Structures are given as C-alpha cells and as structure tokens.
C-alpha cells in the first residue's frame, strides 16, 4: 500500500533561474526520490513554475535513467501561475491565467520536461478571476479525452469554487491542495470557532474540508511542515507561540519515540478529513523522519493533539 504522504518536487530543480541543473542537483534529487520511494511514497507533486521548469526536467531525467520508475509512481502537476522570466515575459507582472491555450501549453510543457505521455492529475494552481469557468472546464475535458490527464485537481480555491468546477467538469475533480499546518491551522479554527466572536478573524474557506469529504475529493496540504518552524528552523525571538509549540512538539515526539517532523505531520493526518501532507524537503534524513508520521497518526491521542493546538494558538480552545 502506498503512503498517504506526497513528495513535493518544488526544490529538486535547484535555483529559480535559467542556470542548467548541475550534477550535484541531479544527484540530490535522485537521492531524495529514492528515499521517498523507500518510505512508500509513490505520489509526486510538480508545477510548471518550479525552479523555472527545472524541477520537472530533473525528474524527467530520473525517469529516463530508470524506465521502471514510471510504473511505480503517480505524477501530478500544476499550471496557471505566470511568473516574469519564468512562465511569463520578463516585463510582465505576476499574474494568473487559465484560458484554454495557456492550460494546454502549460500541460504540454510539463509532459515534455517530465518525459511522460500523461499525468494522473493536472491542477489549477491559483484561481484566475478573469477565467471563464466554462472555457476552463472544456479545456480540461479535452485533455482528458486525449488521454493526457486522468483527473483534475484544484489548488488554493474556496468551497464554492470547488463546487462550481465539479458541476461544470465531466472530468473527475479528485484533489484540492491548500496550505494546512499546525502554523496555518485555519481549517481547525473555522470548526471550533463556529458561533464564536473570534471566528470572524479566520479567513479559511468555510466548510471546504467537509465538502471534499462528502464528495470524495482528497485534501492535500502544502506547507505541511510549516517551513520547519517547529522542528529546528530558527524561531524569531518575539514569536513565543512558536517557541512553545516547538517545545510541545518535541515533548510529544520524545513520548512516542519519533521525530518532530512526524508529530507535525501526524497532527494533520489525525484529522478525519483525510489530509495528505506534501513534503518539500530534499534532505533524506527529514524525508525518513516524515515517514514516521504514517504510523504515529492513528496513535496520536486527543490530549496530545489538543496540547499541540493549544500551544500553536497560544490559548486554550474556548
């Protein structure tokens, strides 16, 4: 059985410029991917913008090295974010674009770099306010009919946006990717602060996890490790909540004999929404540490889960 964890390939391509990836970059990527596979991770997350397309290109090189690898994994990639000097002209502003031609060109570029004929899922990276949803749906359905994708994913979208695309598309909407972590915990605050004055302080899309659960849409968490804030990254001196949370994470980790990374991810996975964390590290030790979360999640008790929540929010639940 494959792991519920997803390996995020944003950093495997090296620098975000036109410098070709060197042998060291490819070696680090190879080691990271092999470590993820050894941990049972078979889903790999890409986007056309990552490292100016080099993350996909490096992954494509790994697939070319080992043709058997393609049969062991599932790939998803994203399109729609236009960065100057990357997916847009150098003088352009950062913007989002989801017209028919851009969606197709984005996917076709990803397929070339990845050296594959299709991907499991194409995700719309950000909502484009100027996009015609009917045109978007038609473009995605065409790609599925051509066998280039098997399903659609959405990223950084609201409950109503997800429902709208699900209504328009013949192609299944199978995943929604959002920033979720012990640090970015609006999905929990939105639940516990219903009918509470503090609820207005949180902008997380109301009911989106419940909608996804009811409609068979998996929820993927980007930024799941909170950039290492609770597991060794420097903590700003003024951020007392983060310091207290890091201490609580370590206490729970010691009690269970696991890494801090495992605790941070298990906190997400313990939620009944079926959250799938996306890992963004290339450090083999951290990848292996994250893999411990799969066994920990069902064993993480209520008191530990709420102790972590209380530390992160800096106050008890109401």
pLDDT in tens, 173-191: 999 999 999 999 999 998 8
Q: Active-site residue 50, yes or no?
A: yes
Q: DSSP 3-state assignment of 146? A: coil
Residue 112: its H or E element = helix 100-114
Confidence (pLDDT) at 205: 82
**Is this prediction's pTM over 0.85?**
yes
Q: From CA 241, how far away is CA 261, in angstroms rounded?
A: 18
Q: Of these residues, 50, 165, 211, 230, which one is catalytic?
A: 50
SS (H, E, C) 153-196: EEECCCHHHHHHHHHHCCCCEEEEEEECCCCCCHHHHHHHCCCC
Q: From CA 288, how far away is CA 311, in angstroms rounded?
A: 26
Under 8 Å between Cβ of 146 and 174: no
Confidence (pLDDT) at 194: 77
pLDDT in tens, 79-126: 999 999 999 999 999 999 999 999 999 999 999 999 999 999 999 999
* Band of residue 200 on the pLDDT scale cut at 50, 70, 90: low
Under 8 Å between Cβ of 72 and 37: yes
From 86, 72, 69, 67, select the one nearest 10 (Cα to Cα): 86
At the top level of CATH, the class of 6-179 is: alpha beta
Tokens 């990276």 belong to residue? 125
Strand partners, 82: 95
Confidence (pLDDT) at 44: 98
Q: From CA 55, how far away is CA 49, in angstroms rounded?
A: 9
- The long-range contacts involving 102-108, CB below 8 angstroms and separated by at least 24 positions, are 103/79, 103/136, 103/139, 103/140, 103/143, 104/139, 104/142, 104/143, 106/48, 106/79, 106/80, 107/77, 107/79, 107/143, 107/148, 107/149, 108/148
- Per DSSP, 117 falls in state S
Beta strand pairing status for 74-79 and 173-179? unpaired
Q: From CA 253, how far away is CA 251, in angstroms rounded?
A: 5
Q: From CA 206, how far away is CA 258, in angstroms rounded?
A: 33
Confidence (pLDDT) at 240: 82
Confidence (pLDDT) at 55: 98
pLDDT at 1 over 60: no
What are the structure tokens assigned to 229, written together?
């804030």
pLDDT in tens, 113-153: 999 999 999 999 999 999 999 999 999 999 999 999 999 99
Of 56-65, 87-96, 202-211, 305-314, minimum mean pLDDT range: 202-211
The mean pLDDT of 2-12, rounded to a whole number, is 96
What percentage of the chain's residues is helix, strand, coil (to nearest 5)? 50, 15, 35
Q: From CA 193, how far away is CA 206, in angstroms rounded?
A: 11
pLDDT in tens, 219-253: 999 999 999 999 999 998 888 889 999 999 999 99
From 70, 77, 73, 66, select the one nearest 13 (Cα to Cα): 77
């Amino acid at each position: 059985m494959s792991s519920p964890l997803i390996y995020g390939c944003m950093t495997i391509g090296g620098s975000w410029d036109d410098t070709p990836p060197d042998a060291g970059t490819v070696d680090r990527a190879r080691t990271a991917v092999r470590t993820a596979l050894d941990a049972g991770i078979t889903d790999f997350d890409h986007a056309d913008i990552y490292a100016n397309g080099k993350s996909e290109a490096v992954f494509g090189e790994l697939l070319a090295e080992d043709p058997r690898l393609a049969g062991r994994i599932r790939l998803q990639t994203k399109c729609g974010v236009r960065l100057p000097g990357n997916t847009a002209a150098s003088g352009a502003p950062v913007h989002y674009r989801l017209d028919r031609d851009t969606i197709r060109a984005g996917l076709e570029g990803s397929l070339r770099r990845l050296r594959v004929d299709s991907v499991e899922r194409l995700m719309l990276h950000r909502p484009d306010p100027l996009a015609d949803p009917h045109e978007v749906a038609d473009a995605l359905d065409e790609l599925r009919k051509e066998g280039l994708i098997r399903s659609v994913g959405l990223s950084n979208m609201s409950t109503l946006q997800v429902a709208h695309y699900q209504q328009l598309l013949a192609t299944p909407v199978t995943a929604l990717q959002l920033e979720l972590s012990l640090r970015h915990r609006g999905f929990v605050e939105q639940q516990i602060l219903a009918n509470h004055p503090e609820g207005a302080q949180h902008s997380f899309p109301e009911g989106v996890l419940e909608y996804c659960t009811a409609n068979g849409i998996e929820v993927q968490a980007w930024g799941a490790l909170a950039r290492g804030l609770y597991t060794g990254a420097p903590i700003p001196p003024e951020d007392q909540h983060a310091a207290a949370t890091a201490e609580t994470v370590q206490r729970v980790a010691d009690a269970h004999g696991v890494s801090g990374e495992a605790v941070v991810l298990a906190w997400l996975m313990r939620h009944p929404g079926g959250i799938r964390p996306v890992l963004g590290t290339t450090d083999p030790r951290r990848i292996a540490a994250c893999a411990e979360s799969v066994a920990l999640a069902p064993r993480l008790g209520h008191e530990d889960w709420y102790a972590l929540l209380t530390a992160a929010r800096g106050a008890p639940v109401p």
